[in-house]
């Protein structure tokens, strides 16, 4: 940014020096004032556009995320296992969002439920899946084919 400002300032100083060197007063007598001001305005417009593109054009790095379409297409949820474990629909939604790596607060915001409710559902899931941590719950649910 500082480099761009410095270049812009030097360009303006150079233009001022150039105008003084050619004694612009003599040009004003030969060329009408409107044309002279139009040329100067055009010059400053070009410099402004150039400086603006240098400031605005920032390179963005886009990382491609591999899509597991085939794996998701093959996944079939084991409904019998869901009933056997007694996992409710809301607990299942919490489990899915846990597997996506969301925090309790994010899960609550997404499902429009309070943070204590998310914690209650998580605790119920831990008991039903017989695990102690979130990562174990997600791994166990994948083993039981509850989530992809």
| Mean of per-residue pLDDT scores for the chain | 81
**According to the 3-state scheme, what is the secondary structure of the chain?**
CHHHHHHHHHHHHHHHHHHHHCCHHHHHHHCCHHHHHHHHHHHHHHHHHHHHHHHHCCCCCCCCCCCCHHHHHHCCCCHHHHHHHCCCHHHHHHHHHHHCCCCHHHHHHHHCCCHHHHHHHHHHHHHHHCCCCHHHHHHHHHHCCCCC
For the chain, domain boundaries: 2-56, 69-143
At 26, is the pLDDT very low, low, confident or very high (cuts 50, 70, 90)? low
For domain 69-143, the question of CATH label 1.10.10.10 is answered with yes
At 37, is the pLDDT very low, low, confident or very high (cuts 50, 70, 90)? confident
At 38, is the pLDDT very low, low, confident or very high (cuts 50, 70, 90)? confident
Averaged pLDDT, 50-69: 69
Q: What is the pTM of this model?
A: 0.50
């Amino acid at each position: 940014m500082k480099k761009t400002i410095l270049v812009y300032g030097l360009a303006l100083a150079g233009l001022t020096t150039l105008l003084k060197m050619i004694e612009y007063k003599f040009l004003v007598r030969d060329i009408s004032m409107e044309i002279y001001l139009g040329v100067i305005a055009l010059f400053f417009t070009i410099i402004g556009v150039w400086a603006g593109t240098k400031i605005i054009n920032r390179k963005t790095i886009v990382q491609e995320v591999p899509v597991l379409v085939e794996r998701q297409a093959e996944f079939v949820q084991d409904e019998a296992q869901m009933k056997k474990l007694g996992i409710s629909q809301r607990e299942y939604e919490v489990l899915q969002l846990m597997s996506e790596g969301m925090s309790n607060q994010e899960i609550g915001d997404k499902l429009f439920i309070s943070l204590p409710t998310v914690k209650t559902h998580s605790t119920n899931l831990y008991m039903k899946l017989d695990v102690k941590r979130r990562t174990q719950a997600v791994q166990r649910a994948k083993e039981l084919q509850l989530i992809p």
